[in-house]
Amino acid sequence: MRLIIMGPPGAGKGTQAAGIAARYEIPAISTGDIFRANVSQGTPLGLEAKRYMDAGDYVPDSVTNNMVRDRLAEADATDGFLLDGYPRTLAQVGELDGMLEAAGVSLDAVLVLTVDDEELVQRLVRRAQTDGRTDDTEDVIRHRQDVYNEQTAPLIKVYADRGLLRTVDGMGEVDDVAKRIAAELDDVRA
């Protein structure tokens, strides 16, 4: 399975990605997690990414695309993957298309999690109290929502037009959302 999981900040992408990856035995590749790992290791990539992430802005496409290209070239992604948080811009869609074409493979489905705006903010404010992520302050959260609506929401139509889109209700308990996702993906695989 070659999958993308999309949705606004706080929709549950990272939360659900782990379960999907385990169920279909594919690696979950989260651009946010890779950036955060680089930030905590103090790498040049991390230093560059941090200033964008802390402000709630996207890291430049060139940086993000190169990072994903390298990650997809690793052996564990040959037979399938779940991309969590990539692509996030139309330019990233084009780059990913090129990477997949070069490898002679194609996507099976693009999952979109939908969650009410206020619930999104509440989830991230709760996470701020436990995880201490520097981009989970209320001002930055609202900015991330605006950036998502401007730059990432248009991707939904792109993948819908390609017949790849699977929209899943992301409200409610984590396990209930996971069951809805599993039903969609089992249908994709059937």
Catalytic residues: 13, 88, 127, 133, 144
Q: How far is the CB of 137 from ligand B4P (least distance, A)?
A: 12
Only one of the segments 21-29, 52-60, 97-105, 180-188 lies at the binding site for ligand B4P (rule: CB under 6 A); that segment is 52-60
Q: Which is nearer to ligand B4P, 63 or 104 (CB)?
A: 63
Distance (Å) of CA 144 to CA 138, 140, 167, 180: 10, 6, 21, 26
- Block residue for tokens 């695309």: 65
Q: Check binding of 32 to ligand B4P (CB under 6 A).
A: yes
For residue 83, give every residue at least 6 positions away whose Cβ sits within 8 Å of its Cβ, in sequence order, or none: 3, 4, 5, 29, 31, 68, 96
d(CA 184, CA 82): 15
> Taking the alpha carbons of 101, 186, 157, 55 in that order, is the dihedral positive or negative?
negative
**Contact with ligand B4P (CB under 6 A) among 177, 180, 181, 185:** 177
Residue 98 is labelled as binding a ligand: no
Q: Check binding of 11 to ligand B4P (CB under 6 A).
A: yes
In DSSP terms, 109 is beta-bridged to 3
Residue 11 is labelled as binding a ligand: yes
Q: Check binding of 58 to ligand B4P (CB under 6 A).
A: yes
Q: What share of the chain is helix, strand, coil (3-state, %, to 5)?
A: 60, 10, 25
Only one of the segments 20-28, 30-38, 103-111, 179-187 lies at the binding site for ligand B4P (rule: CB under 6 A); that segment is 30-38
Q: How far is the CB of 155 from ligand B4P (least distance, A)?
A: 11
Q: Are the beta carbons of 100 and 106 closer than 8 angstroms?
A: yes
Q: ∠ CA(90), CA(96), CA(97), 5° rounding? A: 90
Q: How far is the CB of 73 from ligand B4P (least distance, A)?
A: 17
Q: Which is nearer to ligand B4P, 80 or 122 (CB)?
A: 122
Sites of contact with ligand B4P (CB under 6 A) = 9-15, 31-32, 35, 52-53, 56, 58-59, 64, 85-86, 88, 92, 123-124, 127, 135, 144, 173-174, 177
